[in-house]
Amino acid sequence: MIKDSILLLADSPILNPKEIVPYHNLSTNYSVYLNTLLFSNWIDLLSESDNQVELFTLLNERDKEYLPKYLLPTGANSVFYKEDIDVNLTEIIYNHSSHLDSKTIIVYFNSIGLKLNEIFRAFSLVTTDEPSLVIGKSDSHKINCVCAKNIESELFSLLIKSKRCYDKYLGLISYKDYFLHPIRNFLSIDEFEDIKKLYIELSKKESLSYCSQKMHESFNDLFIEYKELLNV
């Protein structure tokens, strides 16, 4: 039986302190810590899928020696891509998603807010005979996930080319005959203002549906360190 696939992607180094781009106002070590928490939150959430999907983690090869074993669940497929992300990553995604009847969702590690049931809903939206594409975006119009059936390699090549800009991506794929399903209510954590938004969102009870109590406690360690800057 062919399972649907979830590809958890970091499109640049996120764990190697010598290679990451630190968040504004955060030290390099705390930037690595935040990246680790965002990545871990996805692993924690996806571990509740009861083995219904196949999970691939896609990380830059410069992170390989910095990836703690505890971050990955048993059975996860870890793929490390080389520097030429447009070529290597597109090929990797296509090779792991080319089954005729499979559905694949690619999720960026630094997004948060998508619930597990919404992932399965995205899969259901692309099961029709009509070519369909689910695109998740943040309030800052950053693409956080893309889901499709019978993936075309060019679809993800253009995603990389768009640099996750929602409007630019729509322009690049406008010549394709896809029925689009946009989904919203994500956060994309790219700068310190997004960390402030994360701080507010995780204070809400409903955030427990996509961030467990255990993960809340870990995020709080970061928030306490930067409490004065997070005074919103």
Does residue 46 fall inside a structural domain?
yes
Closest to 43 (Cα-Cα) out of 187, 155, 211: 211
Q: Is 232 contained in some domain?
A: no
Q: Are 225 and 64 in contact (CB under 8 A)?
A: no
- What Å distances lie between residue 91 and 15, 124, 162, 219, CA to CA? 23, 25, 17, 34
Residue 24 lies in a domain: yes
Number of domains in the chain: 1
What is the pLDDT at residue 202? 95
217 falls within a domain = no
Whether 108 maps to a domain, the answer reads yes
Q: Which of 109, 1, 7, 106 is closest to 55 using CA atoms?
A: 7
Pick the more confident residue, 111 or 225.
111
What is the reported pTM?
A: 0.92
pLDDT tens-digit map of 78-131: 888 886 665 555 566 666 554 546 788 999 999 999 999 999 999 999 877 778
Give 12-66 pLDDT, tens digit per residue: 999 999 999 999 999 999 999 999 999 999 999 988 877 778 888 889 999 999 9
Give SS3 for 117: helix
pLDDT at 43: 92
Q: Is residue 202 part of a domain?
A: no
- Mean pLDDT over 180-200 rounds to 92
In a domain, 218, yes or no: no
| pLDDT reported for residue 100 | 47
CATH code of the domain containing 57: 3.90.550.10
Quick: pLDDT tens for 193-202: 999 999 999 9
For the chain, list the strands marked E by DSSP. Answer: 4-9, 53-60, 77-81, 103-108, 111-112, 132-138, 143-149, 179-188
Would you place residue 140 in the very low, low, confident or very high pLDDT band (cuts 50, 70, 90)?
A: confident
pLDDT, residue 94, reads: 61
What pLDDT is stored for residue 96 in this prediction? Answer: 58
Domain residues for the domain of 115 are 4-190
The mean pLDDT of 177-193, rounded to a whole number, is 90
Q: Above 60 in pLDDT, residue 232? A: no
Residue 195 located in a structural domain = no
